[in-house]
Amino acid sequence: MLDKSNMDVYNKIISRRTIRKFNQTEIPVETLKKIVNAGRLAPSSGNLQPLEYFIAVDNSLREKIFSTLSWARYIKPEGDPQKDEKPVAYIIIMVNNKIANPAHFKYDVGASAENMIITALSEGIGCCWIASVNKSDLAEILQIPADHSIDCVLAFGYPLEDPVYENITMNGSIKYYKDSNGRLHVPKRKFEDIVHIDKFQ
């Protein structure tokens, strides 16, 4: 018998798009803890588990964090969240450098972040995974100790937009764009252009 829960997970994954405009409904802290727990339990290279997480929900702290972030470079400044569209919560992924393997912790970050993004999506929450961060300023704002480093920021909120993806050809543009109705379109390479079964084609 077909397991419908597996179908639901797959459908969530393929429907996921980056969200940069959010309504201002607060996310319960318990929901954010659930999201972090999904990240905590992601695979970890050598099971070293060097990642730690900072949850930010305080209004004034969120404003300070927002000032350190850069958004949607292909469609700046239109892609930047406006005052009533900003994230309502952040999860900052940090690396404990006392235990991290410098060659491998990035794999941990990727697995952890995607676990959190998909868990948030299952709660109806959108996310923007941001690597364009002024990390020194953010570390000072959050008072992160010197033996920890900030890797990236996940910005969360209930979506105010509904981006779609479209297939591109091998030589097509990868730049996302907004159409005349303001809907975001995200080009993705076609399945048959990137998958090789039993031989490289």
pLDDT tens-digit profile of 112-162?
A: 999 999 999 999 999 999 999 999 999 999 999 999 999 999 999 999 999
β-sheet bridge partners, residue 55: 91
Which pTM was predicted? 0.91
Residue range 45-65, pLDDT digits in tens: 999 999 999 999 999 999 999
Helix or strand (DSSP H, E) at 186: strand 184-189
Contact 87, 156 (CB under 8 A): yes
Alpha-carbon distance of 159 to 124, in angstroms, equals 8
Residue range 173-185, pLDDT digits in tens: 999 888 888 898 9
Alpha-carbon distance of 100 to 51, in angstroms, equals 8
Ordered by where they begin, the domains of the chain are 17-162 (3.40.109.10), 163-195 (2.20.180.10)
pLDDT at 24 > cutoff 80: yes
